[in-house]
Amino acid sequence: MEPLRPADPRRVGAYEVLARLGSGGMGTVFLGRTAGGRTVAIKVVHAALAGDPGFRARFAREIAAARAVSGAFTAPVIDADADAPAPWLVTTYLPGHSLQRIVDGSGPLPPWSVSTLGAGLAEALVAIHRAGVVHRDLKPSNVLLTPDGPRVIDFGVARAAELSAVTRTGATVGSPGYLSPEQATGAESGPAGDVFSLGAVLTYAATGHGPFGQGAVPDLIYRVVHAPPWLDGVGDPGLRDLLTACLDKDPARRPAAGDVLHRLAASAPAAPYGVGWLPPPVAAQITAPVPLPATIPSGPGIGRRRLLFGAAGLTGAAALTGGAVLLRDRAKRAADGTWTYTPESREVTGGPVLSGGLLFVTEDYDADGLVALDPRTGARRWSTVDVRPPGAADPLRVTATGRVVYTNGGFKSFKAVDQANGASLWTVTADLITGDPGPVTGGGLLFSAGTQSEEGLCAYDGLTGQRRWAFNTGQAVQANPCVAGTTVYVANREGTVFAVDTAGGQVRWRRTLDPSSGLPVQIASPPLMSGGLLFVVGQDKTLYALDASTGHLKWTSAADTAGGGGPPALAVSGDLVYLTDDLGGLYAIGTRDGRLRWKHVFSSKDHHAAALSPVMSGGTAFCFNNDTLFALDRATGAERWRASGLTATYERPVLAAGAVHLASLSAIVSFDPATGRVLRRHPTEMAENLTASGDALYWRDAATVYAAKARGSAPRRTHPRGDERRPPQPALRNRTSSKARG
């Protein structure tokens, strides 16, 4: 990174220019910043090329190609203008060092690191080729090793595969020593050419030199076309065999990028995320903080000491589109850990929910945004858009596993974003007709069920969104599947339950439930796995317990209330399974024998099965219904105490710091779990969606997210955005908006 030169632009489009990142044959790359403070990389075309209409056409094709690509191991395009006086392209800024710089400075990587690197690069190529794009210039300098893993950059000579060739016969595009033989001879080059380049790059990573040595350009091109690759320095036999296949002169004999990915992923000792797959000295080099040049002026409220990139920046907050950040830490959080967060839109539409060490909320009815907050400080880590806010009675569905955050996208879709920076990874259609289709994940896969029986259960790769397999369920599926270990369980709407292998989609067992009425069992609730048993409940509230390993029926139990209402809900605690319904019934059933231990029927008319599921603490089950918090004896169902006058709907109590807490519309109220005595009442307006972690409580109202200690002092605003004056509270807008109801 270098300071700006006198002739360099200070602004490109809507982006402030901060520093120089490098220069190449096409143009200069700058570090930039959006109006909101997010860092980006800006490529500005050289003036000598900007006046060439042919080049502008090729640059426009580059933009179209790069926009088509998405994936965990590429750099997404954010903005571009091919018609500007000096055409420009804005992408995610990725901190780190190129593979070329690392190997040149530190020597070849060990075999286990090369295998992991190859898996990440192969997955990037899978995403690139799936978008109909060929990179055509994969080389060590176009591979970045970042704190979040390897990334493929620079689609400077990429093109859409279906377009005509950019170059004439006899011309070459690419980098000598890494381009394929077909590129070297000017022939048509497709995805197989990228696989050849991948083999050359991995050879360089493993040996410190390319497979065709060094020398003048004509010599390198001759060797690429006619000479065998030099792989003597590749010590691992399996890796050497794979590289030999990738470097075959005949593109038809080379493996596809997906085949390379599967072979390397099987041998790699670690996933290509973070820096744990690299030797410690290299990992330290990649994650070391790199300050901006001192001559760069700071923006308003941003000190030069805060402008850090690399690992130090990542611990504060992550940018929307990249792994680097600009820290604007004006935190004044209280010593007891309280804070508040108000988005610029002043519309909080869902959440909060904790997952993967982050606190998630949805905001802005127009943008359908998802925001990730630091649960300790309330600092905004990143945000993304096109995330469906939950309905009035349903929780926000967000699952953060590994490096991916899964949530509900727009109408009938699931969305995956990078947990480090919020960059969109992929979106897949979810043909569920259930009212609350949350993401179900396991073993690096996302599972989706739907109305088309041929694809009643589908598995998608968690990193790429590519469908791995589809399973025919015979009938439509109206409920989410559930995952336990290497098995995913799903039930179709007419009562057939399947246990399916997560890896390949093969059925392990199937069981058709036999109702006493002779009519098909209507299944609309997700199955539940606990203690080696799989629990499935029918719409008529008959509960079935199956042996999870064999599908053998253990017992059935029928709730003695009339049918009707929405799907029942299940929860398990110890030796009891709890069934709740929309008619206000709560049933405690023994897991061993299916015998009804007790029941409690709530008297009000407004119920929601999921909201009635009890929260357990010791020997007490806590339930909230009709403005009343109930404490029931777990063993008998007898009422121990109740607290009334708690105006709220669809809220569930939470446990923290030895107390039970509930969000009413006027206060967060904390109770002694043994007696029901009020320990603390914190006044608030329209409090909703209370959640807890350790001794911290989190909730929201229509405009703000709050955090407080379970027995601490009242929270105070420490992360204002925009006007710091508290706006008037709207009258339950997030309960009545059609968008909020999905």
Distance of alpha carbon 228 from alpha carbon 210, whole angstroms = 12
* pLDDT exceeds cutoff 80 at 467: yes
* pLDDT exceeds cutoff 50 at 399: yes
Tell me the three-class secondary structure of 355-386, residue by residue.
ECCEEEEEECCCCCEEEEECCCCCCEEEEECC
Higher pLDDT, 486 or 489: 489
- State the CB neighbour count (10 A cutoff) for residue 252: 6
Mean pLDDT of the chain: 80
pLDDT category at 114 given cuts 50, 70, 90 is very high
Beta-bridge partner residues of 455: none
Question: What are the chain's domains?
Answer: 97-286 (1.10.510.10)
Least confident range from 136-145, 315-324, 621-630: namely: 315-324
Beta-bridge partner residues of 81: 88
* pLDDT exceeds cutoff 80 at 193: yes
Long-range contact list for 310-315, CB < 8 A, 24+ apart?
Answer: 310/95, 310/96, 310/147, 310/286, 311/147, 311/287, 313/95, 313/289, 314/147, 314/420
Percent of the chain with pLDDT over 70: 81
Looking at residue 439, its pLDDT comes to 87
- 8 Å CB contact between 453 and 475: yes
User: Which tokens is 95 given?
Assistant: 């901190």
For 281-308, how does the pLDDT look when each residue is reduced to its tens digit (9 = 90+)?
Answer: 888 888 776 666 654 443 333 333 233 3
Helix (H) or strand (E) holding 118: helix 111-130
DSSP code of residue 229: P
- State the CB neighbour count (10 A cutoff) for residue 387: 27
Q: Which of 197-201, 261-265, 418-422, 468-472 has the highest mean pLDDT?
A: 197-201
DSSP 39-90: EEEEEEE-HHHHT-HHHHHHHHHHHHHHHH---TTB--EEEEETTSSS-EEE
Looking at residue 325, its pLDDT comes to 29
- Residue found under tokens 């509930």: 662
Look at residue 304 and give its three-state secondary structure.
Answer: helix
Higher pLDDT, 491 or 719: 491
pLDDT category at 280 given cuts 50, 70, 90 is confident
Looking at residue 484, its pLDDT comes to 87
For 30-86, how does the pLDDT look when each residue is reduced to its tens digit (9 = 90+)?
Answer: 999 888 777 888 988 887 777 777 778 877 877 777 777 766 667 778 888 988 888
Looking at residue 336, its pLDDT comes to 57
Let me know if 60 is exposed, middle or buried by CB neighbors in 10 A (0-12, 13-18, 19+). middle
469: left (phi over 0), alpha (psi -120 to 50) or beta: beta
* pLDDT exceeds cutoff 80 at 271: no
User: Which tokens is 44 given?
Assistant: 């500005």
User: Which tokens is 477 given?
Assistant: 């599926």
Looking at residue 285, its pLDDT comes to 86
- State the CB neighbour count (10 A cutoff) for residue 649: 17
Name which of 547, 543, 544, 554 is nearest 533 in CA terms. 547
* pLDDT exceeds cutoff 80 at 361: yes
Helix (H) or strand (E) holding 735: helix 733-736
Percent of the chain with pLDDT over 90: 31
Q: Are strands 424-429 and 413-418 parallel, antiparallel or unpaired?
A: antiparallel
* pLDDT exceeds cutoff 60 at 186: yes
User: Which tokens is 541 given?
Assistant: 């509230």
Instruction: Name the CA dihedral angle for 720, 723, 725, 731, rounded to a multiple of 10 degrees.
Output: -90
Residue 602 φ/ψ, nearest 5 degrees: -80, 145
DSSP code of residue 305: G
Looking at residue 441, its pLDDT comes to 87
* pLDDT exceeds cutoff 60 at 89: yes
Q: Which whole-number Å values give the CA distances from 251 to 218, 242, 256, 620, in the listed order? A: 22, 14, 10, 67
* pLDDT exceeds cutoff 80 at 2: yes
Name which of 446, 458, 539, 523 is nearest 491 in CA terms. 523
What predicted TM-score, i.e. pTM, was given to this entire model? 0.54
Q: Which of 300-309, 523-532, 723-732 has the highest mean pLDDT?
A: 523-532
Looking at residue 314, its pLDDT comes to 29
Give the CA radius of gyration of the chain. 29
Least confident range from 213-217, 307-311, 395-399, 663-667: namely: 307-311
Distance of alpha carbon 29 from alpha carbon 37, whole angstroms = 18
Name which of 230, 291, 222 is nearest 18 in CA terms. 291
* pLDDT exceeds cutoff 90 at 217: no
Look at residue 671 and give its three-state secondary structure.
Answer: strand
Looking at residue 122, its pLDDT comes to 94
Residues 6+ apart with CB under 8 A from 80: 63, 67, 87, 88, 89, 90
Least confident range from 81-90, 336-345, 729-738: namely: 729-738
- 8 Å CB contact between 52 and 60: no
User: Rounded to 5 degrees, what angle do the CA atoms 271, 423, 724 make?
Assistant: 130
Over residues 134-138, the mean pLDDT reads: 86
Looking at residue 742, its pLDDT comes to 31
Over residues 601-606, the mean pLDDT reads: 72
